[in-house]
Amino acid sequence: MKHKSLRAELVLYCVVSLVLALLTETVLGFALYFTGSALGISVGGYGKPKNLPPVNVNHNKDMNPEPPEYMLISYWNRNTTIFIAIIVIICAFILYIMYFLALTKRITKDMSYISGCISDIANGEHETRIVGVDREDEIGEIVRQVNRMSCEIQRLIEAERGALQSNKDMITCVAHDLRTPLTSIIGYLQLATSVDKYTVEERQNYANIALRKARRMQGLIEELFSYTKLMSGEISLHKSEIDIIKLVEQLVEEFYPLFMENSLEYSLSQNVNSLIMNVDGELIARAVSNLISNAVKYGKDGKIVYIELQKYERELQISVTNFGLVIPKESIEHIFDKFYRVEGSRSSSTGGTGLGLNIAQQIAILHGGDIVVKSSESGTRFTIALPIIKE
């Protein structure tokens, strides 16, 4: 039987223990009475054991002889009553304690087990869970709260480990991705300053290469700053009403030199010419730029990049499609994970922090939207979906 109140259960055990103690004492009293009767001893009368010879008693009024030993119990006075009452109370109390301890044995066992589990958790065994205590009272609530606390502690520890691993990955990425362009910059600047060995045109070319490398390094640093701000919650939305169609058109025009540099064509299409939305224009521009940059880096073999804007009743979809290598199925699930790279090697042509898609996803989520990816032989398509909130 499951009790919903520990207090009610203890009261019940007290009453049951008391009743059992009284019943036991009554049964024992009757047993002693009938045993005494069988031996010829009567309480409160003048009985004597059977088959014993008569005893001559001097009835002289001036004398007060001691009664025979077998007749001592026959003399019932106030002291005898008090003595027997004390014996009865002591026996009843002992029986009550014994029955109460027996009835509450399961409670004390559960409490001892719970105490041991809490001690294990306090000693660092955070995977410890309290099992086998199926109660609905206050003890059961303690069990549920302790297990919830243990799960929360375990989750926080795993989150801390994940954060430490992320920091380690970030340091590794930063060390590699900044060292490579920085080494190139130093090398090309050394060549550009070698006046005696190279012509002005050659030194100018080396300086331009160093400039491109420096700008790439600047982009990596900005990406890292954006990621840390997003993860720490330091970035807040500064919404304003902007024409998001014009915003994307302007972004595509700014990417024109990058398309030409990588021998890529682009196509921009939309089903509306204008759409005013209340968004953070700077962050949306960053998210779309990350998708276009990703399409340029991984879609060079496809020769063209499609940018589409489709307005639906409740949302706007911004899609960027490239026709480079197909993303494997096992990579689709992790494509938005921070520091994740699809390719096995970190080449200089496609190298990066692995944060661009993760940043785009976080920006979409901040605006109440989402980002999805589909990759097949017909192309790799990233789509940002932003809700259209009508005032």
R_g (Cα) of the chain, nearest Å:
45
| Predicted local distance difference test score (pLDDT) of residue 345 | 40
Instruction: List Cβ neighbours of 327 (8 Å cut-off, separation of 6 or more).
Output: 335, 342, 373, 375, 380
Strands 304-311, 265-270: pairing kind:
parallel
Q: Domain ranges for the chain, please list them.
A: 6-103, 133-235, 236-387
Q: Is 77 exposed, middle or buried (0-12, 13-18, 19+ CB in 10 A)?
A: exposed
The helix-helix angle for 78-103 and 6-38 (nearest 10°) equals: 140
Angstrom distance (rounded) from CA 197 to CA 192: 9
- Phi, psi angles (nearest 5°) of residue 315: -155, 160
Q: Which of 2, 89, 77 is nearest to 44 (CA)?
A: 77
| Predicted local distance difference test score (pLDDT) of residue 306 | 93
Domain 236-387 CATH assignment equals 3.30.565.10: yes
Binning the chain into helix, strand and coil, the percentages to the nearest 5 are 55, 10, 30
| Predicted local distance difference test score (pLDDT) of residue 73 | 47
| Predicted local distance difference test score (pLDDT) of residue 370 | 92
Q: How many CA atoms lie within 13 A of 372 on its CB side?
A: 5
**pTM, 2 dp:** 0.54
Q: Which of 314, 337, 322 is nearest to 376 (CA)?
A: 322
> Could you report how far apart the first and last alpha carbons of the chain are, in Å?
58
Instruction: List Cβ neighbours of 265 (8 Å cut-off, separation of 6 or more).
Output: 259, 303, 304, 305
C-alpha dist (Å) from residue 113 to 6, 125, 169, 316, 347: 17, 15, 42, 57, 57
pLDDT tens by residue, the chain, 391 residues: 566 788 888 888 899 989 998 898 888 888 877 776 666 555 444 444 444 455 454 545 455 555 554 444 445 567 777 887 888 889 889 988 999 898 888 888 888 888 888 888 888 787 788 887 777 778 888 888 888 888 888 888 888 888 788 777 777 766 766 777 788 888 888 888 888 888 888 888 888 888 888 887 887 777 777 777 776 666 677 888 999 999 999 989 988 888 888 888 999 999 999 999 999 888 899 899 989 988 988 887 778 899 999 999 889 999 999 998 888 888 888 888 876 766 544 444 555 567 788 888 989 998 999 999 998 888 899 999 999 875 5
Q: Residues 343-377, buried b or exposed e (16+ Cβ, 10 A)?
A: eeeeeeebbbbbbbbbbbbbbbebbebebebebee
DSSP states of 242-309: EEHHHHHHHHHHHTHHHHHHTT-EEEEEES-S--EEEE-HHHHHHHHHHHHHHHHHH-GGG-EEEEEE
Right CATH for 133-235 from 1.10.10.10, 2.40.10.480, 1.10.287.130, 3.40.50.720: 1.10.287.130
The helix-helix angle for 200-232 and 356-366 (nearest 10°) equals: 40
Q: Can you read off the two tokens belonging to residue 201? A: 């045109």
Give start and end residues of each alpha helix (H) in 123-199. Answer: 138-192
Q: Which residue type sits at 180?
A: T
| Predicted local distance difference test score (pLDDT) of residue 320 | 94
